[in-house]
A = this chain, B = another copy of it.
Amino acid sequence: MIDLALLPDGGMHWLDASGPKSSIVLSTRIRLARNLQGYVFGQRARDNDRTAILTRVEEAAAAGERLRGAVTFRLDQMERPDRQLLHERHLVSKELAGLDRESRPRPGAALVVGASVGVMVNEEDHLRLHGMRSGFALEEAYAEVEAIDAELGRLLPFAFHGEFGYLTSCPTNVGTGLRASVLIHLPGLVLTREIQKVLQGLTQVGLTSRGLYGEGSDVVGNFFQLSNQTTLGKSEVELLDHLGKIVRQVVEYEEQAREVLLKTAELTVADKVWRAYGLLRYARSLSFEETMNLLSGVRLGVGLNLIPGLSVYTLNKLLIFTQPAHLAALEGRPTGDPELPTVRAAYVRRVLDTEAA
């Protein structure tokens, strides 16, 4: 079992609900795709290439200022529960962690993680730098990742093309290699049935929306990830500006939808959110999916000031720690324990008993 305390600040600062608009926008995430000259890209990289790349990244981290003290997690040498834990913490992708059925992490697959930024090594690209911040904070999140990118760029030969920009394994990432995304909670737009219209609008302006766990994952609990689709032909600042404007608008739509709900259906909404609270408070068995849906209801209730005495931080924490690998680690159980739904319900009750006023 890995010691999560090894993660500087436990990788959890983005949970603390301290950022702007954090009752609607849980977190902002920046990812930069980088590759090293002289090594084969992506799937075709041989094992010794991959190991060499990891060594170079670790050396660069140690040589620079900003990643000094970073910890390396060798996914290719870790048991599945630990890999799942890092994935649930949003620190590594499902692919890097080899969590798909019958897959394993490929040799050299690793996470090098510092105080606020992590580097996935040997994912689809040689390096994927990423950082998360609480709430809606594109500039701040980008600044952190950019600083480390700049430092690593001085120490490592990033593959860069004068015309195209940073070269990547998949052409959709060429250029800036930047993907910026926000994890956003849109129950108002779902309840007022405007969500489809909004999501279609997003596609038209170059944004994509996905579920909580990235590409191909389901939307559960009205949590959406919104991110830019293109990386090429615009500068980082332009991409962030564009995404920022659109997300700001989506946040406004959500706020308006919530006002409409309060005006036209306060009782129905209050009933819905309190029922969710009642179930979390008393259920004896909870699947993670149901927990997310109930947390979504309670989060809306807290956002609308219908449920007092409960913090968004508590809800964020529950969202992370009720995931299978987190819960199992926390309670000293095997990840596949059939009793996890019972353990989950007991954990949720304990947290709400302690933290709800």
Instruction: Give A contacts to B, CB under 8 Å.
Output: 267-268, 270-271, 274-275, 277-285, 342, 345
A77 to chain B, nearest CB (A): 37
- Rounded to whole angstroms, the CA-CA distance of A342 and B270 in the bound complex is 11
A-B contact pairs, 13 of them (CB 8 A): A270-B284, A271-B283, A271-B284, A271-B345, A274-B282, A275-B279, A275-B282, A275-B283, A275-B284, A278-B278, A278-B281, A278-B283, A281-B282
Contact A283 B279, beta carbon cutoff 8 Å: no
- Taking a contact as CB atoms closer than 8 A, the residue among B267, B277, B281, B284 that contacts A285 in the complex is B267
| Closest B residue to A283 using CB positions | B275
A278 to chain B, nearest CB (A): 3
- Taking a contact as CB atoms closer than 8 A, the residue among B268, B278, B285, B342 that contacts A282 in the complex is B278
What is the oligomeric copy number? Answer: 2
Q: Which residues does chain B contribute within 8 Å of A280, judged by CB atoms?
A: 278
A107 to chain B, nearest CB (A): 43
Further pairs besides A274-B284, A275-B282: 18, Cβ < 8 Å: A267-B285, A267-B342, A268-B285, A270-B284, A271-B283, A271-B284, A271-B285, A271-B345, A275-B279, A275-B284, A278-B278, A278-B279, A278-B280, A278-B281, A278-B282, A278-B283, A279-B279, A281-B281
Q: Which residues does chain B contribute within 8 Å of A277, judged by CB atoms?
A: 282
- Rounded to whole angstroms, the CA-CA distance of A278 and B286 in the bound complex is 14
Contact A274 B267, beta carbon cutoff 8 Å: no
| Closest B residue to A273 using CB positions | B284
Q: Which residues does chain B contribute within 8 Å of A283, judged by CB atoms?
A: 271, 274-275, 278
Q: Which residues does chain B contribute within 8 Å of A279, judged by CB atoms?
A: 275, 278-279
Listed from nearest, the 5 A-B pairs whose CB atoms lie closest are A278-B282, A278-B278, A271-B284, A271-B285, A274-B282
- Rounded to whole angstroms, the CA-CA distance of A285 and B275 in the bound complex is 10
A357 to chain B, nearest CB (A): 15
Q: Which residues does chain B contribute within 8 Å of A271, judged by CB atoms?
A: 283-285, 345
- Rounded to whole angstroms, the CA-CA distance of A284 and B277 in the bound complex is 11
A113 to chain B, nearest CB (A): 38
A151 to chain B, nearest CB (A): 52
| Closest B residue to A282 using CB positions | B278
Q: Which residues does chain B contribute within 8 Å of A270, judged by CB atoms?
A: 284
- Rounded to whole angstroms, the CA-CA distance of A137 and B282 in the bound complex is 35
**Highest count of chain B CB atoms <10 Å: which of A267, A271, A277, A279:** A271
A266 to chain B, nearest CB (A): 9
Q: Which residues does chain B contribute within 8 Å of A342, judged by CB atoms?
A: 267
| Closest B residue to A349 using CB positions | B274
**Highest count of chain B CB atoms <10 Å: which of A267, A270, A278, A280:** A278
